[in-house]
Structure 1
Amino acid sequence: MKVRLLAATATAVLLATGVPVPVSAGVPVPVSAGVPVSVSAGVPVAGSAGPTGRTASVTTAAAVPPAPCPRAPAPKVSRPPRPSPPPAMPEERAVGGPALATAGLVVPAAVSRPPAVTATSWLVADLDTGQVLGGCGPHEHATPASVQKLLLAATMLPRLDPAQVVTVTDGDMDIEPGSSAVGLVAGGRYRIETVWLGLLLQSGNEAANVLARLGGGPDGMAGGVRAMNEEAHRLGALQTHAVTPSGLDGKGQFTSAYDLALIARACFADPTFRRYALTETHRIPAQPAQRTKGFEIQNENQLIYRYPGALGGKTGFTDLARHTYVGAAERGGRRLVVTLLGAEPQPARGWEQGAALLDWGFSLPRDSTVGRLVEPGELIASAAATPPALAATGAPRPAAASGPLDEGLMGRWPVALLAAAVLGLAAAVLLRRRRSARRRTP
């Protein structure tokens, strides 16, 4: 009895900290009310719909492999080592509904199979109702590349006056050599609207630095990135952590297809963003003091030229993230958004894969759904209404390092070591009992 009590205590401590717990037969795992059970091979997940206080014995024998996603063959490419994502948090993977907590395919029953794409994860949702029509690994962590600029837009568009004229600094021009730039110059003076168009049409990384600095208050760009993370949390994008305002790769920077849909929904709710996203060309003014001529930029998102009803979106690419894409369109009074991560441009480019998934979404009945996009502030309000002991598991935590050792796990080492010590004590007691039993055996 003491052994079982010690093991149960250790399990409870580990679950409270989010540290994975090995499942042993006969050791019950606590189940929280309203949280679905999702079992991956050998990894237990707390939670199931049911009364508070119930327990369920979860074993690897009950594991059900996720349905495979339709994959299009893609050429092999060399890429940097994939960074270690943050630990899988059951409450984050279940945001939007228990069916979304899968690494595989989730679609409504009795609908046509979605098209095969090269993206490692994707999601299609209704911008107006918030219904999620389907997805592949919707809560799997991935690196965002320039689609992160949508989070910058969702954060800073309400804060900045588009008519204000600002001066670009040398610090704004500190971007990775060879990375995407619109052509702003240090010392140049531009309307904020021009900077926004440079960001959204040409994915200018220096434009992202300008906007983050201006919206970041006294802390400048660092304050802007902090505001982006606060906005992601408010929107319910709990798997998103920004390190750079532009989406250039940074240590611990992640998002998910589901989170991108939340962020895109916030963007498309803003009429100014919708106007920017559909702008085809814009002229960057000359800067006589810097001896630079004016020039014209074009929108790089091919969806707006080639897809009827397109509302716009954002492209992205880094060697690490590969191709990422967010696109939206309207058809028959219905507005859908598609997000995809980790795609290759062959046999179809990112926007073409997005267009195929939009076609699939528009083909589904209007009541088709596998989950929903949470409303801005909804999760914060829910956490505020939850008793402190339960709300603690949903508190913000450090992002994982881009390496084999997770910073979030390091932050929980003292508790994890305590739990490990309790488990070790339980094992020692059990071993002692077994040895005593052998001595008594004739």
Structure 2
Amino acid sequence: MTLLTPRPLLASVLTALVAVIPTAASPARAADIPCPKPNVAKPKGIPPRPVPPPDNPANSVVGGDDLATHGLVIPPGAKQPPAVTATTWIVADLDSGQVLGACGPHVYQTPASVQKTLLAATVMDKLDPGQTITVVRSDLDIEVNSSAVGLVVGGRYPISTLWLGLLLNSGNDAANALARMAGGGGSDGVAKTVAAMNAEAQRLGAYQTHAVTPSGLDGKGQFTSAYDLALIARKDFANADFRKYVLTKSAQMPAQPQLKQKGFQFQNENKLIYNYPGAMGGKTGFTTVARHSYVGGAERNGRRLVVTLLGAEAHPLRGWQQGAALLDWGFSLPKDAAVGKLVTPEDVAAEQSNAQARAESTTATGKAKAAPVFRSGGKDMTTILTAAGVALLLAGTPLLLLLTQRRRRRPVRRPGGQGAYR
């Protein structure tokens, strides 16, 4: 029997426990170090940000306890990263999974169109790129003035063309059409795919990601984090079709003669592929609420890095330019530099299995177990937890993921210094 604990209840119990129990897995948190920011005025008239869920101590340490910060974390001896307007960001190695540095990696943010990378990670392998589908009216049910690739009701398009429209031109109409088809093609297809996107996020260990729309258009309760986006991007860049699509500079939307609709060309809006040597592509995003977001990858000397950033402004650098600056910084670091790691689906599955086995053992004995002896400041402290508390902790997969991480030297945390939707 699988023991599952509701995440809100688990979060409240963990928060209370962390507050009173200093543990090896939850060291005393140092003060957050501000991330380097350019000295520019913030634009006026920006809508208020959605109120995020409270920080969950278990989720904040996925990938390593040094990632549990709202501020800057970089390897010992590393040079200061560039000053960017992005509120949060992360740079990681796509192959080794090492996190090279970050600013608030587990801070909740709104995604905008970089959420389309989660749609790709969830259903790209499930849809035949050669299949032709017919667009229905609900596919065009998108926000006024939001980005669209120009699909027409009754038009017939190859799925490969829809992926290009999604990833090059950030077409929200393409997102709806792909999500509908992946969910079975019916009126509930989009809802089924959004549910699948959330399940895929959990499978990857992206516990702070919750999708409400397949496109990334703002929705109540829709959040992600820079760390989660790196997990999602890692799966995407492992897909040859995704890599091909995001490196495509231009594509052709086929004519629809039966509807008297001419064909047209559309361009890749990710300027990284035109201007950055070794660029692997990525995805841009923008809404007036989320501000600018960006996911980008690049390869240099056999090393492949990914950068994700959220909550950025376009001045003095656009999102892709901020990504390029952070990639340059990442490539300048030694290959063994790290402040944490990107967990894998295998890590997640193993810890879920361990949690289930331990929870079943606790349930079978019907007895509370004594907690291990924890060290805090060189002093031992033994705490007896209730059986319910133990079960909740054991069911908290994100917390258990931390226990699998190899302890590293603590990185240095140094002080550093439009209405259209995409």
Normalized against structure 2, the TM-score is what?
Answer: 0.81
Query: Within the alignment, does 1:70 sit opposite 2:31 as a pair?
Result: no
The aligned amino acid for 1:30 is I
- Once residues 227 and 214 of structure 1 are traced to their aligned partners in structure 2, the CA distance between those partners, rounded to angstroms, is 13
The alpha-carbon deviation at position 18 of structure 1 amounts to 4.1
Q: Deviations over 1:47-75 (max 9, x none)?
A: xxxxxxxxxxxxxxxxx321110011333
271, 276, 282: which one aligns with 1:313: 282
The aligned amino acid for 1:309 is G
Contact 1:240–1:253 under 8 Å retained in 2: yes
- Once residues 245 and 177 of structure 2 are traced to their aligned partners in structure 1, the CA distance between those partners, rounded to angstroms, is 17
Per the alignment, residue 248 of structure 2 pairs with: 279
Per the alignment, residue 54 of structure 1 pairs with: none
Q: Are residues 394 and 18 of structure 1, via their aligned partners in 2, closer, same or farther at CA, if it must alter by over 3 Å? A: farther
Q: Deviations over 1:249-274 (max 9, x none)?
A: 00000000000000000000000100
249, 266, 273: which one aligns with 1:304: 273
- Once residues 173 and 237 of structure 1 are traced to their aligned partners in structure 2, the CA distance between those partners, rounded to angstroms, is 29
Query: Within the alignment, does 1:391 sit opposite 2:394 as a pair?
Result: yes
Q: Secondary structure at the match of 2:125?
A: coil
Q: Are residues 269 and 14 of structure 1, via their aligned partners in 2, closer, same or farther at CA, if it must alter by over 3 Å? A: closer
The aligned amino acid for 2:243 is R
Contact 1:201–1:277 under 8 Å retained in 2: yes
Per the alignment, residue 292 of structure 1 pairs with: 261
Q: Are residues 38 and 122 of structure 1, via their aligned partners in 2, closer, same or farther at CA, if it must alter by over 3 Å? A: farther
Per the alignment, residue 364 of structure 2 pairs with: none
Contact 1:15–1:21 under 8 Å retained in 2: no
- Once residues 215 and 73 of structure 1 are traced to their aligned partners in structure 2, the CA distance between those partners, rounded to angstroms, is 45
Per the alignment, residue 138 of structure 1 pairs with: 105
The alpha-carbon deviation at position 88 of structure 1 amounts to 0.8
The alpha-carbon deviation at position 169 of structure 1 amounts to 0.6
Q: Secondary structure at the match of 1:259?
A: helix
Query: Within the alignment, does 1:362 sit opposite 2:357 as a pair?
Result: no
The aligned amino acid for 2:100 is L
Quote the RMSD (CA, aligned, Å).
2.0
Per the alignment, residue 147 of structure 1 pairs with: 114
Within 5 Å, give how 1:281-430 maps onto structure 2: 281-386=250-355, 387-388=358-359, 389=391, 390-394=393-397
The alpha-carbon deviation at position 288 of structure 1 amounts to 1.4
- Once residues 258 and 370 of structure 1 are traced to their aligned partners in structure 2, the CA distance between those partners, rounded to angstroms, is 12
Per the alignment, residue 55 of structure 1 pairs with: none
Contact 2:351–2:397 under 8 Å retained in 1: no
Contact 1:75–1:346 under 8 Å retained in 2: no
Q: Deviations over 1:229-260 (max 9, x none)?
A: 01101111000000000000000000000000
Per the alignment, residue 386 of structure 2 pairs with: none
- Once residues 359 and 162 of structure 1 are traced to their aligned partners in structure 2, the CA distance between those partners, rounded to angstroms, is 34
Per the alignment, residue 30 of structure 1 pairs with: 21
- Once residues 17 and 133 of structure 2 are traced to their aligned partners in structure 1, the CA distance between those partners, rounded to angstroms, is 56
The alpha-carbon deviation at position 384 of structure 1 amounts to 2.2
228, 231, 234: which one aligns with 2:203: 234
Within 5 Å, give how 1:21-170 maps onto structure 2: 21=16, 29-30=20-21, 35-39=25-29, 64-77=30-43, 78-170=45-137
Greater mean alpha carbon deviation, residues 313-322 or residues 379-388: 379-388
Q: Deviations over 1:85-138 (max 9, x none)?
A: 112111100000000000000000101110000000000000000000000000
The alpha-carbon deviation at position 29 of structure 1 amounts to 2.0
- Once residues 137 and 296 of structure 1 are traced to their aligned partners in structure 2, the CA distance between those partners, rounded to angstroms, is 39
Q: Secondary structure at the match of 1:266?
A: helix
Contact 1:124–1:133 under 8 Å retained in 2: yes
The alpha-carbon deviation at position 20 of structure 1 amounts to 4.8
Larger RCO (CA within 8 A; separation ≥ 6): 2
184, 194, 203: which one aligns with 2:170: 203
Per the alignment, residue 146 of structure 2 pairs with: 179
Q: Secondary structure at the match of 1:157?
A: helix
Greater mean alpha carbon deviation, residues 149-158 or residues 373-382: 373-382
The alpha-carbon deviation at position 31 of structure 1 amounts to 5.2
- Once residues 141 and 152 of structure 2 are traced to their aligned partners in structure 1, the CA distance between those partners, rounded to angstroms, is 11
Contact 1:122–1:135 under 8 Å retained in 2: yes
The aligned amino acid for 2:41 is P
The alpha-carbon deviation at position 17 of structure 1 amounts to 3.1
- Determine which structure has more spread, i.e. the larger CA radius of gyration: 1
- Once residues 157 and 22 of structure 1 are traced to their aligned partners in structure 2, the CA distance between those partners, rounded to angstroms, is 41
Q: Are residues 312 and 31 of structure 1, via their aligned partners in 2, closer, same or farther at CA, if it must alter by over 3 Å? A: same
The aligned amino acid for 2:20 is V
Q: Which consecutive unaligned segments of at least 5 residues does structure 1 have? A: 1-12, 40-63, 396-442
Q: Deviations over 1:17-38 (max 9, x none)?
A: 3475499xxxx82356x62235
- Once residues 168 and 378 of structure 1 are traced to their aligned partners in structure 2, the CA distance between those partners, rounded to angstroms, is 39
Q: Are residues 191 and 14 of structure 1, via their aligned partners in 2, closer, same or farther at CA, if it must alter by over 3 Å? A: closer
What count of residue pairs does the alignment treat as equivalent?
355
- Once residues 281 and 357 of structure 1 are traced to their aligned partners in structure 2, the CA distance between those partners, rounded to angstroms, is 26
Q: % of aligned pairs identical? A: 62
- Once residues 29 and 384 of structure 1 are traced to their aligned partners in structure 2, the CA distance between those partners, rounded to angstroms, is 28
The aligned amino acid for 1:325 is Y
Per the alignment, residue 415 of structure 1 pairs with: none
Q: Secondary structure at the match of 2:66?
A: helix
